[in-house]
Structure 1
């Protein structure tokens, strides 16, 4: 049972530090592989293999050997808890992986894409269902128009990924094909158009990116919005198929999780 719960740390308890090091490396590789392929098979395999291997070694255990300082159940468990807390702290304060849930950010992000979010300075200290506090964005200079961020939906409290178009105090106007920020239209350049869609390159601030419009949108989201202080306005790149701030309003600073810094293809 200890092998199932703490996986490679069981080998410290049975006085096999080298085998522990091998399994720990395998466990870290399994975590990375399961995140990349989103299958979960590698960790499942380790959770079965570790206790079976430990059981096989215990049957051949030499009780006369000198046990290391680490070969105590409470040491193995304590080291495991230290690792878990380190991972939790890393995900809460520095970087955290997410999976893109929908096609609302097409063509930039596809549903199922894995992304890594930088959280330092955004004041949302939570991960794995545990919340250590959300004082809000501690450095507003990190909020750049045109960049992509992950945040909590104002009402549903689930993570969304969208592009930041409106900063506090901005006035945004959306027409069927144009976005005006404080009276200035964002520059766009047509890339491709067919019977179903139009792909364009849009520039906001210092960032250029691709957006998608449907050739014949059913109900395009248009209107004029003023962003209150302490809040931000997010929009999906798939402009005619995105639930975003045009529908449910701006996002409070306390709900900003972090900036997308890495997309894993």
Structure 2
């Protein structure tokens, strides 16, 4: 469902009826006469729709986490808020940037339109910015040939769909000042070569059984999930172009299963 498009259509319809009533219909029926329901209802809803549309389009938009690809940072069922203007002001629906504010930085958690199906929103962590050389080999991350600092942080257990328990090793990773935790499952292969898709700038990447090396092209970003062995991300479907950016995730505002997560910042 393209919610921004639906909101825009409702805004145009209700605003159009309100304008028509003000310029034409109200004069015909007289200033004291009440308008028909198909005029009064749109007029009442128009201000509300306008406020919601502006808030979601230019300031903050809510999202729900549907999968475990960002565990342990984000859990299934987390409702998060995304800052829509951090990376620039964009026109709603078409998502065209009209004003630069800040460039995405390594380590930030970003919501973006999935390159293979832009009607879907994905959330991952920014690992590589334009010009970076990204290497993921033997489940270790290197940026421009420098290993990213990681420290063991115990074990982590979670339940996947079907009540399957997953045991992983947890690490604390530091990426350009963003300290966060990641999961590594030692029982899974370093990379599933059969899962690698054809994608734009595929020639920038080399793959083998132990990992990959990719040069991030201009205007693109390399996105990876914190749950490294249970994430469909740039390792498999390629780079995220700048035009697909939605915004920066910054806070968990609700979780029905764990109220203690409410208000947690996303780093």
Correspondence for 2:146: 184
TM-score under structure 2 length normalisation: 0.66
Deviates more, 1:133-142 or 1:153-162: 133-142
Correspondence for 2:234: 245
In the TM superposition, residue 206 of structure 1 has moved relative to its aligned partner by 1.0
* Structure 1 residues 210 and 77: alpha-carbon distance in aligned structure 2, compared to 1, 3 A threshold: same
Partner SS, residue 179 of structure 1 = strand
Uncovered stretches (5+) of structure 2, i.e. residues with no partner = 1-30, 157-165, 193-210, 254-260, 262-267
Larger Rg: 1
**Which of 210, 214, 217 in structure 1 is aligned with 2:181?**
210
Q: Deviations over 1:242-265 (max 9, x none)?
A: 000010111000000000011123
- The structure that is helix-richer by fraction is 1
Q: Deviations over 1:174-229 (max 9, x none)?
A: 01231110111100010014893110000110101000000211453620001000
Could you tell me whether the CA contact under 8 Å between 2:125 and 2:223 is conserved in 1? yes
**Which of 147, 155, 171 in structure 1 is aligned with 2:108?**
147
In the TM superposition, residue 134 of structure 1 has moved relative to its aligned partner by 2.1
Distance 2:179 2:99 in 1: 26
Larger RCO, structures 1/2 (Cα 8 Å, 6+ apart): 2
1:1-265 matches, within 5 Å, as 73=37, 74=39, 77-120=42-85, 121-126=87-92, 131=93, 133-136=94-97, 138-139=99-100, 141-157=102-118, 158-193=120-155, 196-220=167-191, 222-264=211-253, 265=261
- Aligned-CA RMSD value: 2.3
- The structure that is strand-richer by fraction is 2
Distance 1:70 1:163 in 2: 57
Partner SS, residue 86 of structure 1 = helix
Could you tell me whether the CA contact under 8 Å between 1:179 and 1:186 is conserved in 2? yes
